[in-house]
Structure 1
Amino acid sequence: MKPKLPSEQYFGNFELVYAFYGAMPTGVTVSEAGRIFICFPKWGDDVKFTVAEIVGDKLLPYPNLQTNFVNPENITMTFISVQSVVADGLGTLWVLDTGAPNFSVPIKGGAKLVAVDLKTNTIRRVYTFTEDVVLPTTYLNDVRFDYRVGNAGYAYITDSSSTGPGAIIVVDLENGTAFRRLNGAKSTSPDPYFIPKVEGQILMNRNKDGSTSPFRLASDSLAISHDGKILYFAPLTSRHLFSISTEALRDRTIPDMNLPYHVEYWGEKGASDGMITDAKGIVYAGDYENNSIRKIFPNGVMETISHDPRVLWPDTFSIGLDQYLYVIVNQLHRQPRFHYGKDLRQKPYSLLRMKIGEFPAATI
């Protein structure tokens, strides 16, 4: 009789919330009323609507189907390719539209931040960006909010460009003024020495013609502290975690060349896509190389709370008032672009959740 050999130990208690059999999702957010919203960027799948709400066992276009049809006559009021959705806990769903299907040059006026009123399910305000903020190489990735500063609060957005400078875009929500910070800084740039490995294989761009290139993506992961004073961020192709005071980001008297001196380094957290903060200031970060999710305490101590073979690329996180951590799992690394044009993804993609016993961080 052959002995049973030891094998890797898995842990963490996830439950399935929703299984996706259509396009690949990237973003999830849970409102204060428990409504769940999902987004589907246009990366090559058949995306019938780029923003949806899970209602019962169905995906319904949100706020309606018409808004999800690109209207060249009214590009700012229709969604093009949404990468991130964030409910602020105060009745607004924020929609971050890259305006860049398939990572193309953003359509003029198409890259935008949209506020949707969850009571009326209508667009309340749209923030567009000037050409010195959204560059031809820009890919708007994630966004966090703080209403405790300024007259209407501020938004912080990561530019996760694969060909140009990474950055954090700061938006004054009162007047829409936006500006780039840490543009091309080491902390917002891909780690040139990092070689991602997922499912035991090196992850790199592998094209249909047989050519290859390193996989490089700039600042992506984003979380804001429970008091709004610290912004945590990380490039997608890096294992390093950085932070900066939001006050320094907003202070335009600090030249961008001096701003890196205000950045703090937290060490290696693992290579993450999504991050989120709870009401106690604990940061939750994925580790896509190890099918894991990690907690990072305010004192820097890190703890792995889940290591699960089903967590095949933990993308976006959200924390609900039900004290669950929600996570989109989408097998991003199995896309055709990484495998000579062959799609290795296996449906369904999933929305999972695990009880963490903590509330989401407030925005006010």
Structure 2
Amino acid sequence: MRTRRFTRPALALAVSLAVAGPALLSAAAQAQPLTLSELASDRAIGQPEVVATFHGAMPTGVTVTQEGRIFVNFPRWGDDVPFTVAEVKGNQLTAYPNREINQPDDAKPGERFLSVQSVVADGQGRLWVLDTAAPGFAEPVKGGAKLVAIDLKTNKVVKTIVFPAEVIRSTTYVNDVRFDFRIGEAGVAYITDSSLSGTGGIIVVDLATGSAVRRLTGDRSTSPEKGFVPVVEGETLLQRHADGSTAPFSVASDGIALSPDGKTLYYSPLSSRYLYAISTALLRDPNVSEAQLSAAVQDLGEKGASDGLEADASGAVYAGDYERNSIRKREPGGEWRTIVHGPQILWPDTLSVGPDGYLYFTVNQLNRQPGFHAGKDLRQKPYALLRVRINAAPAPTR
């Protein structure tokens, strides 16, 4: 009888197969089909809490005062908007400061709220209302684009600044605003122009005189990113018309945040994944040319595609990420990390740091609007105001 000889590798393989054979057979027997819910899935990050829900119009802006009062706004983009600024009390909305001022009247453009895009508590006892005067993104009503300050103790309008005609173009859409009361007699406001069809820019307003100038108009940092193609909920985001034609999602400078010392302004186009920064001293200096200002812009790299921006007292910057259903935090050292992520974070819009150590943010399903789906409204009510604990205080304004 002939004896078969094995080499060492062959012998090792034979032994391992002999030992593993029953286990392999057992694993094969257990390989039964599973349901999707039993498979590994995308993990949620953070623990967001629901503060309020909205069953009517779609909200954009939110702000939280030093006393913990919460205000939101509803731009007139096509929804039925009974009032464009409201205070949130529990889960109830109250027109603010009253219903009359919330009734649009083109014959009184400087006295009524026509279409409010942003509300910001200034840390000095006032709520500021930024009125685009551009319902449905139309050309702004003449004399209607304005900043309105409301005293939070009396709930009365105490100041109205109608923007000078030279800073409000036919395509201007004033979007968000930040304040610094350490500058000048009464402070300064920085406002983004997030034009959908024209050029973006930063508007700088002297709050004492109401005078205003445009800076960085049409600069690459305030313009939609070239070749930008966002993907939201797995779908390329385009303007999709009923006739089948499409157009790019192209929106200029939108989110804005101010460093705690007031020396640096952060901003980003809505159609971009990049964060930019500029010295506020240069921005305010009339002797600095546009070319010099553009050269001084800092490109801080990719942060994700975001709508709102916010800063806290430690110097951290927060940004929504509407492509990833997330909110991200840029540490003072420059590192980004995700603090909230989950399937319910459907288009995080405006961010606001509250006095209670929470970051508040609206979630409004902006990408599901009819204009992106050939006239079909895919939004599912309610919209929501959420918050997540960040253990940080609001950036000071004085």
TM-score, normalized by length of structure 2? 0.90
Query: How many angstroms does 1:71 deviate by?
Result: 2.9
Match of 1:346, as an amino acid? Q
Report whether the alignment pairs 1:57 with 2:91. yes
Shift of residue 132, structure 1, vs aligned partner: 1.6
After TM superposition, give the deviation of residue 209 of structure 1 in Å.
2.0
Letter of the structure 1 residue corresponding to residue 303 of structure 2: K
Q: Does the 8 Å CA contact 2:52/2:90 hold for their aligned counterparts?
A: no
Runs of 4+ residues deviating >6 angstroms: none
Other structure's SS at 1:261 match: helix
Structure 2 residue 118 is the aligned partner of structure 1 residue 118? no
Q: CA deviation at 1:130?
A: 2.0
2:41 matched to 1:7?
yes
Please state whether the residue corresponding to 1:284 is helix, strand or coil: strand
* Letter matched to residue 262 of structure 1: A
Structure 1 residue aligned with 2:202: 168
Deviations 1:180-208 (A, max 9, x none): 00000000000021101000100000012
Counterpart-to-counterpart distance in 2, 1:294 and 1:194: 20
1:225 to 259, 270, 281: 259
Name the structure 1 match of 2:376: 342
| Distance in 2, Cα, partners of 1:131 & 1:340 | 35
1:33 maps to a residue whose letter is: E
Residue in 2 that maps onto 1:105? 139
Partner amino acid, structure 1, of 2:283? L
Q: Which has the higher helix share?
A: 2
Amino acid at match of 2:73: C
Give unmatched runs, 5+ long, in structure 2.
Answer: 1-31
Give the secondary-structure state (helix, strand or coil) at the position aligned to 2:355: coil
> Where do 1:273-312 residues align within 5 Å?
273-312=307-346
Larger Rg over CA atoms: 2
1:131 shift after superposition? 2.1
Letter in 2 for 1:314: P
1:37 to 71, 77, 85: 71
2:15 corresponds to which residue?
A: none
1:330 aligns with 2:361: no
How far is the alpha carbon of 1:353 from its aligned partner? 0.6
% of aligned pairs identical? 58
Q: Give the SS at the match of 1:156.
A: strand
2:294 maps to amino acid = P
User: Which residue of structure 2 lines up, in the alignment, with residue 321 of structure 1?
Assistant: 355
| 1:235 aligned residue | 269
Q: Deviations over 1:287-329 (max 9, x none)?
A: 0000011001222111111111100000001111111110000
Instruction: Write the distance in 2 (CA, Å) between the matches of 1:208 and 1:17.
Output: 36
| SS in structure 2 at match of 1:77 | coil
| Paired residue secondary structure (1:2) | coil
**CA apart distance, 1:222:** 0.5
Tell me the SS of whatever aligns to 2:114: coil
Q: CA deviation at 1:70?
A: 1.8
SS in 1 for 2:329: strand
Letter in 1 for 2:197: T
* Superimposed CA distance per residue, residues 96-154 of structure 1 (whole angstroms, 9 cap, x where no aligned partner): 00000000000001100111111111111111122220100000000000011111110
Residue in structure 2 matching 1:157, options 191, 201, 207: 191
Secondary structure at the aligned position of 1:248 is classed as: helix
What is the alpha-carbon distance in structure 2 between the residues aligned to residue 301 and residue 122 of structure 1? 42
- Structure 1 residue 157: deviation in Å? 0.1
Is the Cα–Cα contact under 8 Å of residues 313 and 394 in structure 2 kept in the other structure?
yes
Describe the SS at the equivalent of 1:187.
Answer: helix
**1:257-287 Cα deviation digits (max 9, x unpaired):** 2211110011000000011111101001000
Q: What is the distance in 1 between the residues matched to 2:349 and 2:109?
A: 27
State the Cα distance separating 1:255 from its structure 2 match. Answer: 1.1
Aligned residue type for 1:66 = E
Contact 2:164 2:211 in 1 (8 A): no
1:77 shift after superposition: 1.4
Residue 24 (structure 1) aligns with: 58
Partner Cα separation in structure 1 for residue 186 and residue 124 of structure 2: 13
State which drifts further: 91-100 or 202-211: 202-211
Deviates more, 1:255-264 or 1:308-317: 255-264
SS of the aligned residue for 2:110 comes to helix
For 1:257, give the aligned amino acid. Answer: A
2:62–2:362 CA contact under 8 A, matched in 1: yes
Counterpart CA distance in 2 for 1:42 and 1:295 is 30
For residue 76 of structure 1, give the secondary structure of its aligned residue in structure 2.
coil
Structure 2 residue identity aligned to 1:45:
D
Matched, 1:85 2:119: yes
